[in-house]
Structure 1
Amino acid sequence: MGLGPGLQLRVSQSLVMSQQLQAAIKLLALSNLELDAVIAEELAKNPLLEASSEGREEGVVVREDRETGDEAGDPRGSDELIGALGGTEDSPLDMDWNEAALDTDSAVDVGSGPGPEEAFDFDRLAGSEVGLTEHLLEQLRGAGGALAAAIVRELEETGYLETPLRVIAEDLGATFSEAETALALVQSLDPPGIAARSLEECLALQAKAADRYDPAMALLIANLELLAKGRMADLRRICGVDDDDLRDMVAELRAFDPKPGCRFAGESAREVGAPDVLVRKTVAGWMVELNPATLPRVLVNRRYHAELKAGASDKSSRAWLSERLQSASWLVKALDQRAQTITKVAAEIVKRQQAFFELGVAALRPLTLREVAEAIEVHESTVSRVTQNKSLLCQRGVLPLKFFFGSGVGSDSGEGAAAEAVKAEIKRLIDAETDILSDDTLVDLLRAKGFDLARRTVAKYREAIGVGSSIQRRRQRKMAGG
């Protein structure tokens, strides 16, 4: 076998994300207040952009076919809705980032657009005061690459990471192992406990940072349910410590912060804007439409562009004008795509949770991001971004889009029931109790309603809605003289 140089041809597929495409994806996750800041800055620096005062009255109707029982969308659909926004004619870019951007089996590049020097600085949205995201990114200073930065930007206001790590990894074309390494880096930042995926993990991270995560403390954190119930004898036995040691460990645990990110949330971060989506009942079915009060309306001023182009005498001026036109056209198209995606996701949520809008929280069914993503043919992370910082207004009030997603429990219907529906039924039973109901009794009553739950699950849901045990409720009634 001879040795020597040679040439080999290898074909591979990879994800190519232009700077423009990354900015478009970030637009999708912004709240309407944050989007206003982006648009205001773009209007200030691009003379070819102008705000439009034109309104929009089209929406998407989610209706039930009375003959077949099937649900269908209004023939107008969301495409016509977006077409009414005025952006299509002024948007020559063919940018379907909604589906292609996150397809890790394809190479994606979206033509020309705003260059790096023209991109909006999304980090400014943290506000004038140092926010959690800015605080963490400053500590990273590029360490961990795009994965660590992506994890930071996915954190909730409380500091928890609710987006599945698998989704973040797939989003950036990374392996799950690489994502775990990046997560470990973020969890090592200040404040301790950040980027945890559960209360137990949050407390464990803080115990490790304080050099107090010994085997006994690990066992205590793993048995928080026993601590909440006051079963100290069981904890002493499990942890292998005496009364004094357990008392000290509990004191240390209570000194930890269960929501470490909240210390960075100023009033502006907690401010809730107007709802993004409006849902109302019509003769044809449920109408789903974007809120015209928050809908961004930006157009490209072609007439002004023609005037400037006619007066551009040198090559650099014409190049600058061309860049401004491309940047303006890109923004309009990106806003149209964002509106279209939000509408599609909201319409699918209403379609699948139609019983909730008719009957209330008791009829809420379990729903996952993946189900919605597969139904509208987008990536799961796209749905995750749409449901961030977005809310829906219906006859039952203003609800975050994330409210409609949740795990399910067994029920006689075969489809399961949403955890929120079970919690609502438990609260109703307890509010109506004359004799104090034990958890075992609640299990039987819920089973009669079609909910098949274990006793520990009922206890967990009861505690989640802030209701004490039967012993605690009986004691409270006696103290109140009842």
Structure 2
Amino acid sequence: MKPALQLRLHQQLTLTPQLQQAIRLLQLSQLELEAELRQIAESNPLLEFAEEVEDDEADESGGTENEYPGNETITASVPAGDEAGDDTGDWSDGGGVAETPIDFSSSGSAGSGAGMRGDDDFEPQNAAPETLQQHLLWQLNLASFNPRQHLIATVLIDALNSDGYLAEGLEPVLAALPAGFNASVEEINAVRRRLQGFDPAGVGSLDLRDCLRVQLEQFAPETPQRELALRIVDSELELLARNDTARLARRLRAGESDVTDAAVLIRSLDPRPGAALDATPVEYVAPDVYALRDGSRWRVSLNPDAQPRLGLNQHYCGLIARAHGEDASWMRGQLQEARWLIKSLESRAETLLKVAEAIVRRQSAFLDYGPEAMHPLVLREVAEEVGMHESTISRVTTRKYMHTPRGTFELKYFFSSGVSTEDGGSASATAIQAMLRKLIEAEDARKPLSDLAIAEELQRKGIQVARRTVAKYREGLRIPTSSERQRAG
């Protein structure tokens, strides 16, 4: 008996390779996009960056005539319209392929981009910052250590954490010494004591008490309240942390004014001596878009220096007409991929500009008056305004930055949930956080505002917010509790 045939109809959404590429490029940050494009350009000879063409032209100027006069790059501003060339181009015997230039820099000034670079094309290079270990080893080589002590000190320096502490104690140092070295803990500790006198003072300490004591011991003996400060560090650090001056005075049988002076001396010390030589490089953010006031309105433009200047190599395009067989097929495929990529970059730039303009229209009050004027805004609102899906808005606002007169912000910064107000409106979480910070900055240091008091003050301003919400926002801003602020004051 033959099995019966069954026909089924179903719908399935399939992403084309072009669409997948456009989505991937949209979610990349500026640096990731640059790296991605360079990797693609390395495998596709029909793609090249504008600076490569400039270098070639500089080499050929003054030499023999260029064999391929049409060898130019399509510079990469958001185009005025959708004029990326047709995917089925004609290849004539004349050479070059007709292609509409895609210039991602026209939204800015014409002189920006490559024209702003120096003629010598050198870029300034910052020297690598000196690490804590390098700083200490330099001092070690100038100190009067015998070879045995020098080796122990080298192992100690290598064991320091970023704050300058031997957080794991001396046992790991003992284990890291060569086999048969036969060093004792006492010998290692003696070398460590000498190391603590290096700059910065206190490195090589085992704990905070040890670190502070070493720094206090470097003060002259006649320093006011030095001895009292040493007593506090030795036995009363917990009371000092709680700022309980009265109990400290009773415990140490000293006057409250003397205890206060000793506490000031202790607080002038560095509890993390190694942090001053943290070699972590500072990361600078280059904005993707600019928001600048133009008369009575805000104008948004792409940063031309942040847009890739990618184009087609006209020399290789001209070779397509003379190629045959598999070579011609391969080169036409590479040309098609290059065109798709350029159109994806155009789409990315247009989408980024469109979303940034929508954000600025919604948050113009923030640009005019500051964080307290920030309006509630969610992805759905921008998606509806620009006619895109929420996931697209999420991709285009991640790791993309806008420069404004108030600073440079990630596009996601302008989105926040809302809290109801008495007049039936809503206030954004960002605006409430700005109000909270302003209230705390203006409070009496002797009587700081509690979370409940802040909530009541905000309610008097018409914002309905609970105490636990205030606590969440305060913690998000890394502001201590009222009791901790009082002790710190």
Alignment TM class, shorter chain as reference: 0.5 to 0.7
Give the structure 2 partner of residue 469 of structure 1: 481
* CA displacement at 1:458 relative to structure 2: 1.3
Structure 2 residue aligned with 1:420, among 422, 430, 448?
Answer: 430
Paired with 1:430 and 1:13, the residues of 2 have a C-alpha distance of 58
SS of equivalent residue, structure 1 residue 90? coil
- Report the CA distance shift for 1:464/1:310 in structure 2 as closer, same or farther (over 3 A): closer
Instruction: State the Cα deviation string for residues 205-234 of structure 1 (Å, max 9, x = none).
Output: xxxxxxxxxxxxxxxxxxxxxxxxxxxxxx
Give the structure 2 partner of residue 445 of structure 1: 457
* CA displacement at 1:305 relative to structure 2: 4.4
- Report the CA distance shift for 1:458/1:89 in structure 2 as closer, same or farther (over 3 A): closer
Bigger Rg over Cα: 2
* CA displacement at 1:402 relative to structure 2: 1.1
Matched, 1:351 2:361: yes
CA contact (8 A) 2:317 2:335 kept: no
Paired with 1:403 and 1:464, the residues of 2 have a C-alpha distance of 14
Structure 2 residue aligned with 1:436, among 448, 453, 459?
Answer: 448
Paired with 2:300 and 2:470, the residues of 1 have a C-alpha distance of 35
Paired with 1:42 and 1:315, the residues of 2 have a C-alpha distance of 24
Paired with 1:472 and 1:89, the residues of 2 have a C-alpha distance of 61
CA contact (8 A) 1:32 1:273 kept: no
Give the structure 1 partner of residue 49 of structure 2: 51
Q: Which letter does structure 2 place at the counterpart of 1:28?
A: L
SS of equivalent residue, structure 1 residue 409? strand
CA contact (8 A) 2:46 2:317 kept: no
Instruction: State the Cα deviation string for residues 9-28 of structure 1 (Å, max 9, x = none).
Output: 43322210233322221111
Give the structure 1 partner of residue 13 of structure 2: 15
* CA displacement at 1:307 relative to structure 2: 2.4
* CA displacement at 1:362 relative to structure 2: 0.5
Instruction: State the Cα deviation string for residues 47-68 of structure 1 (Å, max 9, x = none).
Output: 2223347xxxxxxxxxxxxxxx
SS of equivalent residue, structure 2 residue 355? helix
CA contact (8 A) 1:275 1:393 kept: yes
RMSD of Structure 2 on Structure 1 (CA): 2.6
Task: Name stretches of at least 5 consecutive residues in structure 2 with no aligned partner.
Answer: 52-76, 89-278
Paired with 2:295 and 2:84, the residues of 1 have a C-alpha distance of 33
Paired with 2:7 and 2:380, the residues of 1 have a C-alpha distance of 37
Q: Which letter does structure 2 place at the counterpart of 1:363?
A: A
* CA displacement at 1:84 relative to structure 2: 4.8
Paired with 1:307 and 1:31, the residues of 2 have a C-alpha distance of 34
Instruction: State the Cα deviation string for residues 449-472 of structure 1 (Å, max 9, x = none).
Output: 221101111122122222222222
Paired with 1:305 and 1:283, the residues of 2 have a C-alpha distance of 47
Paired with 1:460 and 1:409, the residues of 2 have a C-alpha distance of 14
Superposed, 1:244-283 pairs within 5 Å as 271-283=283-295
- Report the CA distance shift for 1:453/1:91 in structure 2 as closer, same or farther (over 3 A): farther
Q: Which letter does structure 2 place at the counterpart of 1:89?
A: A
* CA displacement at 1:358 relative to structure 2: 0.9
Paired with 1:43 and 1:424, the residues of 2 have a C-alpha distance of 46
CA contact (8 A) 1:91 1:332 kept: no
CA contact (8 A) 1:91 1:330 kept: no
- Report the CA distance shift for 1:413/1:28 in structure 2 as closer, same or farther (over 3 A): farther
Give the structure 1 partner of residue 404 of structure 2: 394
Give the structure 2 partner of residue 308 of structure 1: 319
Paired with 1:472 and 1:19, the residues of 2 have a C-alpha distance of 57
Structure 1 residue aligned with 2:78, among 78, 82, 85?
Answer: 82
**Seq. identity, %:** 43
Q: Which letter does structure 1 place at the counterpart of 2:18?
A: Q
Q: Which letter does structure 2 place at the counterpart of 1:475?
A: R
Q: Which letter does structure 2 place at the counterpart of 1:21?
A: L
SS of equivalent residue, structure 1 residue 471? helix
- Report the CA distance shift for 1:407/1:306 in structure 2 as closer, same or farther (over 3 A): closer
Normalised to the residue count of structure 2, the TM-score between the two structures is: 0.52
* CA displacement at 1:389 relative to structure 2: 1.2
Give the structure 2 partner of residue 92 of structure 1: 87
- Report the CA distance shift for 1:21/1:271 in structure 2 as closer, same or farther (over 3 A): farther
CA contact (8 A) 1:90 1:300 kept: no
Superposed, 1:235-384 pairs within 5 Å as 271-283=283-295, 285-301=297-313, 303-312=314-323, 314-384=324-394
CA contact (8 A) 1:411 1:450 kept: yes
Give the structure 1 partner of residue 169 of structure 2: none
SS of equivalent residue, structure 2 residue 480? coil
- Report the CA distance shift for 1:47/1:431 in structure 2 as closer, same or farther (over 3 A): same
Q: After alignment, is 292-301 or 321-330 more displaced?
A: 292-301
Instruction: State the Cα deviation string for residues 71-130 of structure 1 (Å, max 9, x = none).
Output: xxxxxxxxxx63259x8333639xxxxxxxxxxxxxxxxxxxxxxxxxxxxxxxxxxxxx
Paired with 1:329 and 1:283, the residues of 2 have a C-alpha distance of 39
Task: Name stretches of at least 5 consecutive residues in structure 1 with no aligned partner.
Answer: 54-80, 94-265, 478-482
- Report the CA distance shift for 1:83/1:429 in structure 2 as closer, same or farther (over 3 A): same
Give the structure 2 partner of residue 61 of structure 1: none
- Report the CA distance shift for 1:379/1:287 in structure 2 as closer, same or farther (over 3 A): same
Give the structure 2 partner of residue 76 of structure 1: none
Paired with 1:23 and 1:288, the residues of 2 have a C-alpha distance of 26
* CA displacement at 1:381 relative to structure 2: 1.0
Paired with 1:337 and 1:456, the residues of 2 have a C-alpha distance of 44
